[in-house]
Amino acid sequence: MARYHNPIHAPIFPSQISSYSSLSGALAPPPSQFASSRRRRVPQNVCKTNSGPICGPIGFDYIGQGGQGVSLADFSARSQNAISQMVAGANDQVLAGTGTSKINLRIMWTGYEHLSFVQSMPASPAMSRGQLGASIAMQFWSFVGQAEKSSTTNPQWQISQRTIPFEKIFLVALYSIGDGIWQADVAVDF
Per-residue pLDDT of the chain (190 residues; tens, 9 = 90+): 445 555 665 555 554 554 444 443 433 444 558 999 999 999 988 878 888 888 999 999 999 999 999 999 999 999 999 999 999 999 999 999 999 999 999 999 999 999 999 999 999 999 999 999 999 999 999 999 999 999 999 999 999 999 999 999 999 999 999 999 999 999 999 9
Interstrand relation of 58-59 and 102-107 (parallel, antiparallel or unpaired):
unpaired
The per-residue pLDDT for 31 is 56
Distance from CA of residue 57 to its chain's centroid? 8
Instruction: Look up the pTM and report it.
Output: 0.82
User: Which residues partner with 52 through β-bridges?
Assistant: none
Query: Which H helix or E strand runs over 176?
Result: strand 169-178
Enumerate residues 6+ apart whose C-beta is below 8 A from 124: 95, 100, 101
Domains of the chain: which residue ranges?
37-189
Enumerate residues 6+ apart whose C-beta is below 8 A from 75: 83, 130, 133, 134, 136, 137, 171
Which parts of the chain fold into alpha helices (H)?
24-27, 72-77, 80-86, 129-148
Q: Is 90 left (phi over 0), alpha (psi -120 to 50) or beta?
A: alpha
CA–CA gap between residue 11 and residue 136 (Å, rounded): 55
**Secondary structure (3-state) at 78:** coil
- For the chain, the straight-line distance linking the first and the last C-alpha, in angstroms and rounded, comes to 45
